[in-house]
A and B are shown apart, each in its own frame.
With several copies, the nearest count.
Chain A
Amino acid sequence: MKAKVHVTLKQGVLDPQGKAVQHALAALGFTGVGDVRQGKFIELDIAEADPAKAKAQVEEMCRKLLANTVIENYAIDLEG
C-alpha cells in the first residue's frame, strides 16, 4: 500500500522558506501572489494491507518521526 503524507507548518508559525519563495516570485515578476507556505510531501510504500492498521501505523510514524508536532501538522492519504 502507498501512504502519502503531507507535513505542513501550523498556522502562526512563520515559514522562512515560504516567505523566500513569495519574495522570489515577486522578484521574477509574478504579481498577485499572496501567502506562500512550504511543507513536505512524503510517499511511503508499506507492507500492511489493512487500511485501518496501515493508517494507524503511519499515524505513529508521523508522531514519532515524520512531523514535529510543536510546529507541524500532518495529513495521511492511503492508496491502493
Chain B
Amino acid sequence: MPAITPEIVAEHGLSPAEYERVLAIMGREPNITELGIFSVMWSEHCSYKSSKKWLKTLPTTAPWVICGPGENAGVVDIGDGQAAIFKMESHNHPSFIEPYQGAATGVGGILRDVFTMGARPVANLNALRFGAPEHAKTRHLVAGVVAGIGGYGNCVGVPTVGGEVEFHPSYNGNILVNAMTIGIADTDNIFYSEASGVGNPVVYVGSKTGRDGIHGATMASAEFSEDSEEKRPTVQVGDPFTEKLLIEACLELMATDAIVAIQDMGAAGLTSSSFEMASKGGLGVEIDLDAVPVRETGMTPYEIMLSESQERMLMVLEPGKEHIAKAVFDKWELDFSIIGRLTDTGRMVLTMGGATVADLPIDPLAQAAPEYDRPWTPGEKLPEVAAADVPERPWGEALLTLIGGPQGSSRRWVWEQYDHMVMGDTVGRPGGDAALVRIHGTKKGLAATSDVTPRYVAADAHQGGRQAVAEAWRNLTAVGATPLAITDNMNFGNPERPAIMGQFVEAIKGMGEACIALDFPVVSGNVSLYNETNGEAILPTPTIGAIGLMPDVEQSVGIGFAAPDQALVLIGAEGSWLGQSWYLAQVAGRAEGAPPPVDLAAERRNGDFVRGLIRAGQVSACHDVSDGGLLVAVAEMAMASGIGADVSVAGPHLHAALFGEDQARYVVATADAEAVLAAAAKAGVAARRLGATGGDALAVNGADEISVAALKKAHESWFPAYMA
C-alpha cells in the first residue's frame, strides 16, 4: 500500500489543514482507502463546504412541503395522497470531457435520485449552456450532449418535456448540463436514506462495479485547466437499459415492506451512499468488499469504494425479507448481493480477503467536514441604460434578428430528439412556457419549467437571483398552474475568489427573497463550483427548476393563439428597460447596463391575476414576457399558432416599448377584453388592450407587416443550419 505523502494528500484535494483534521480524527495515519474516503466525503461536491452557510438561508418550508433539502430529492404534496418528488443536478465537467456519456449519465443519476425515494419518474428537463456558437468545440458539444440526454431518457422511457439552451462565450471551456427529474409517489410510501436497525442487512443491487469514474467527485470539484482532457479515463458509460430495469425492480420491491432505507450510488458511489445512510441513522456499518459484484478482476478496496459505476443502489432491508428482494432483482436480471450489515459501533469497517482494509469513525468525519465562510465582495452596481441613448432599428428587422439568432431561435432541433410523449400524459409539449404532464389516471397535471437569465445575474446577482425564481414562477403561472416549489442548480466559478463568492451570496439572497414573496420554497438543489477555465469563470448561473400543480389540465392554455379575432391584453407595465436586453446586445451590439429590476409584489399580483383568468376560462392563450420583450412574446404566440396579430404601442421610444425586458408581464388572448380589463382594474393590476389576433402577419400599429411564415422560417432555421 502506498505511503501517504503530501503529494498524495494534495492529489486527493485535501488542504494541509484538512489533512491535520484527518489525522486528529483517525488518531493515526490513514491508509490510502481511508484517505480516499475522506477525500470524497470532504470534496466540495459531497460536503458543500463553500456553500452550506448560504444555502441554509433559503426558505425551504411551506404547508405542502413534505421533505425539503437533505434527502435525495425534494417532496411536495400534490393532494389525493400523492407527492411530487424532484431535483436538478449538474453533470458539467463530465459532459465537457465526453459530451454523450457525460450528459447521459447525468440523466441517469438524477433519475436515480428520484426513484430511490419511491417515485416513478414522469418527466425530465434539461438546462444546457454552451460556449459561443463560433467556438471550435461548441457544435460537437451540442451534438453530443443532446444525443446523450436523448439516448438515456428515450431508452428508459421517461419523457423529456422541457429545458433551456443558451450560448455564451463564458461557457467555452465549461459547458453546463443540468438535468432535472420529476417523479410521483404515494405520500404513504416514500423512502428515505436514514438507516435503522442494528444487524439489518445492507444490500447492493443493480450493475456491477468497475473502475469507472474513480475520483469523479473530486474531479467535479476541481477547476479545469487546458490539460484536463488528460483526465479522460475517469469517464463513466451509462447503461439506460439497466436503469430501466432498476426503476421497475425498485418500484416493485417498494410495493412490499422489505425496505428500511435506500440510497442511490451517485458521486463517490459506495462510499457516500453507505456513509450517508449510516451517518443519518447514527449507526455503524460493516461491509465485506468481497461480496460487492465487480466487473473486473483485481479491484482494490480503494477502487471499489470510490468507483462511480452507474446504475447501482444500496438498501437496508428488513431482516428476513432478503429472499423477497432477491426474487424481484432476479426477475429483472440485476445483480443482488448482501454486502454487509448495520452495527452500533458508529464506525465504517471494510473487510476484504478476511482482513480489515479500512476502519473509520462515521460521525466525527461527518461532523468535522470542513465548512467555510469564504470572503466575498458585492458586485459593482452598473449604470442604467437610457432608452434614448440606444439607436432605433426598424422593428421588423430587429425582431427577425432576435428570433432568428442563436439565442432566440427555436429549440425544436433539440427537443425533437427527445421522446417527449412517452408515458402518454404529455398535455403540454415543449415549446410553450411550461411543460404540462398529466398525473396518470387523474385530470390533474404537473407543470414544469427551468429558468435563469445568467446575463442578468452577472450584471446584478441580487436582481438576477430574484429574476430567475420569478421567471420560473411566471412560466408555471402562464399555463395556469399553481407554482409549488423549486429545485436549484447553483453553477458558479471558483468560490475562493471573493468576487465569485459574492455572486453566489447575492444570488442566493435574491432567490430567497423571491421564494418568500412568491410562496415558492426550495426543496432540493445542487451546487457546481469551480466552473472556470484558465481563470475565466462562467456567467453565474443559478438554474431554477420548478413545478406547479394544475387541478384540471383541460383548463390550461398554451402560448399559441387559439383563434383569430381575439383581443390581446398586456398584463403589467409598458416596456421601458433596455439594459441587458437581447435588443441592446444583439441589435445594438452592447451587452451592458443594469438588468431589469424585479418588483416581487407586482409579480405576485399580476401572476395571481393571470392564473385566475386562466382558471376561469377567460383567456384562450397566454405567454409571459421575458427574453426579447413584448414583441418577441407576441411573435412566439403567432408562430405557435400560424395566426397573425396587430399590436399597438405608444410612448417615446418604440424600441423600449417593443423590446424592453421589464418583468412581471404577460400577454393574454381573450374573447372578452372588457371583462379582463375590468377585472384587472378591480385587482389593481396594470393592463391594457394591446391589439387583436388575426390574419397571417404580424403588424405593429397597423403597419409594416411581417408574415408569420417569414417569422417561422427565421425562427426555425438557425439551429438546424448551425448543426448541419
Question: A residues bordering B, Cβ < 8 Å?
Answer: 10, 12-16, 19-20, 23, 68-71
| Whole-angstrom distance between the Cβ of B292 and the nearest chain A Cβ | 16
- In the complex, A71 Cα to B101 Cα: how many Å? 10
- In the complex, A16 Cα to B310 Cα: how many Å? 11
- In the complex, A69 Cα to B232 Cα: how many Å? 9
- In the complex, A72 Cα to B596 Cα: how many Å? 48
Using A12-B210, A12-B211, A14-B207 as known contacts, list a sample of 5 further A-B pairs with CB atoms less than 8 Å apart, ordered by residue number in A: A13-B235, A14-B310, A19-B239, A68-B98, A70-B98
Nearest residue (CB) in A for B155 is: A16
- Decide yes or no: A14 and B97 within 8 Å by CB, A70-B232, A71-B235 being known contacts: no
Residues of A with C-beta under 8 A to B333: 23
- In the complex, A15 Cα to B296 Cα: how many Å? 12
Find residues 87-123 in chain B having any chain A CB closer than 8 Å to their own CB.
97-98, 100-101
B536 contacts A by Cβ under 8 Å: no
- In the complex, A12 Cα to B236 Cα: how many Å? 10
- Decide yes or no: A71 and B295 within 8 Å by CB, A13-B212, A14-B212, A16-B237 being known contacts: no
- Decide yes or no: A12 and B235 within 8 Å by CB, A68-B98, A70-B98 being known contacts: no
B64 contacts A by Cβ under 8 Å: no
- Decide yes or no: A16 and B232 within 8 Å by CB, A70-B98, A71-B237 being known contacts: no
Residues of B with C-beta under 8 A to A19: 239
B242 contacts A by Cβ under 8 Å: yes
Interface string of B212-236 (1 = CB under 8 A from A): 1000000000000000000011011
Q: Are B101 and A16 in contact (CB under 8 A)?
A: no
Q: Are A14 and B241 in contact (CB under 8 A)?
A: no
Residues of A with C-beta under 8 A to B237: 13-16, 71
| Whole-angstrom distance between the Cβ of B143 and the nearest chain A Cβ | 10
Residues of B with C-beta under 8 A to A69: 232
Nearest residue (CB) in A for B232 is: A70
Question: A20 is contacted by which of B235, B241, B295 (Cβ under 8 Å)?
Answer: B241
**Chain A binding surface SS class:** loop
Most buried by B among A12, A14, A20, A23: A14
- In the complex, A13 Cα to B98 Cα: how many Å? 13
Nearest residue (CB) in A for B724 is: A27
Residues of B with C-beta under 8 A to A14: 207, 210, 212, 236-237, 239, 295, 309-310
Residues of A with C-beta under 8 A to B97: 70
Nearest residue (CB) in B for A11 is: B296
| Whole-angstrom distance between the Cβ of A4 and the nearest chain B Cβ | 21
- In the complex, A70 Cα to B233 Cα: how many Å? 6
- Decide yes or no: A70 and B235 within 8 Å by CB, A12-B210, A12-B296, A13-B212 being known contacts: yes
- Decide yes or no: A16 and B239 within 8 Å by CB, A10-B233, A23-B333, A70-B232 being known contacts: yes
Q: Are A16 and B235 in contact (CB under 8 A)?
A: no
14 A–B contacts, CB within 8 A, in A order: A12-B233, A13-B212, A13-B235, A14-B237, A14-B295, A14-B310, A16-B237, A16-B238, A68-B98, A70-B97, A70-B232, A71-B98, A71-B101, A71-B235
Residues of B with C-beta under 8 A to A15: 237
- In the complex, A68 Cα to B210 Cα: how many Å? 20
| Whole-angstrom distance between the Cβ of B507 and the nearest chain A Cβ | 33
- In the complex, A14 Cα to B241 Cα: how many Å? 13
| Whole-angstrom distance between the Cβ of B672 and the nearest chain A Cβ | 53
Residues of A with C-beta under 8 A to B296: 12
A-B complex: 7 closest residue pairs judged by Cβ atoms: A16-B239, A14-B237, A70-B232, A70-B98, A12-B211, A70-B235, A13-B237
Interface string of B290-303 (1 = CB under 8 A from A): 00000110000000
Residues of A with C-beta under 8 A to B310: 14
- In the complex, A38 Cα to B273 Cα: how many Å? 32
Residues of B with C-beta under 8 A to A12: 210-212, 233, 296
- In the complex, A23 Cα to B233 Cα: how many Å? 26
- In the complex, A10 Cα to B210 Cα: how many Å? 13
Residues of B with C-beta under 8 A to A23: 333
Nearest residue (CB) in A for B296 is: A12
| Whole-angstrom distance between the Cβ of A62 and the nearest chain B Cβ | 16
Residues of A with C-beta under 8 A to B207: 14
- In the complex, A16 Cα to B236 Cα: how many Å? 12
Nearest residue (CB) in A for B239 is: A16
Nearest residue (CB) in A for B207 is: A14
Residues of B with C-beta under 8 A to A20: 241
Nearest residue (CB) in A for B98 is: A70
Nearest residue (CB) in B for A68 is: B98
- In the complex, A62 Cα to B210 Cα: how many Å? 26
Residues of A with C-beta under 8 A to B309: 14
| Whole-angstrom distance between the Cβ of A44 and the nearest chain B Cβ | 17
| Whole-angstrom distance between the Cβ of B138 and the nearest chain A Cβ | 15
- In the complex, A51 Cα to B310 Cα: how many Å? 38
Nearest residue (CB) in A for B242 is: A16
Nearest residue (CB) in B for A35 is: B295
- In the complex, A19 Cα to B310 Cα: how many Å? 14
- In the complex, A23 Cα to B207 Cα: how many Å? 13
| Whole-angstrom distance between the Cβ of B597 and the nearest chain A Cβ | 45
Residues of A with C-beta under 8 A to B239: 14, 16, 19
| Whole-angstrom distance between the Cβ of B291 and the nearest chain A Cβ | 21
- In the complex, A26 Cα to B536 Cα: how many Å? 34
- In the complex, A70 Cα to B144 Cα: how many Å? 13
| Whole-angstrom distance between the Cβ of A54 and the nearest chain B Cβ | 24
- In the complex, A16 Cα to B309 Cα: how many Å? 12
- In the complex, A73 Cα to B471 Cα: how many Å? 46
Interface string of B231-265 (1 = CB under 8 A from A): 01101111101100000000000000000000000
- In the complex, A23 Cα to B724 Cα: how many Å? 11
- In the complex, A7 Cα to B689 Cα: how many Å? 63
- In the complex, A70 Cα to B105 Cα: how many Å? 15
- In the complex, A69 Cα to B233 Cα: how many Å? 10
Residues of A with C-beta under 8 A to B212: 12-14
- In the complex, A14 Cα to B237 Cα: how many Å? 6
Residues of A with C-beta under 8 A to B295: 14
- In the complex, A70 Cα to B230 Cα: how many Å? 9
| Whole-angstrom distance between the Cβ of A75 and the nearest chain B Cβ | 19
Nearest residue (CB) in B for A15 is: B237
Residues of B with C-beta under 8 A to A16: 237-239, 241-242
Nearest residue (CB) in B for A71 is: B235
| Whole-angstrom distance between the Cβ of A52 and the nearest chain B Cβ | 28
| Whole-angstrom distance between the Cβ of A41 and the nearest chain B Cβ | 18
| Whole-angstrom distance between the Cβ of B624 and the nearest chain A Cβ | 39
| Whole-angstrom distance between the Cβ of B701 and the nearest chain A Cβ | 46
- In the complex, A13 Cα to B236 Cα: how many Å? 7
- In the complex, A66 Cα to B239 Cα: how many Å? 20
- In the complex, A15 Cα to B235 Cα: how many Å? 13
Nearest residue (CB) in B for A16 is: B239
Find residues 497-532 in chain B having any chain A CB closer than 8 Å to their own CB.
none
Residues of A with C-beta under 8 A to B232: 69-71
- In the complex, A64 Cα to B168 Cα: how many Å? 25
| Whole-angstrom distance between the Cβ of A11 and the nearest chain B Cβ | 8
| Whole-angstrom distance between the Cβ of B146 and the nearest chain A Cβ | 16
Nearest residue (CB) in A for B144 is: A68
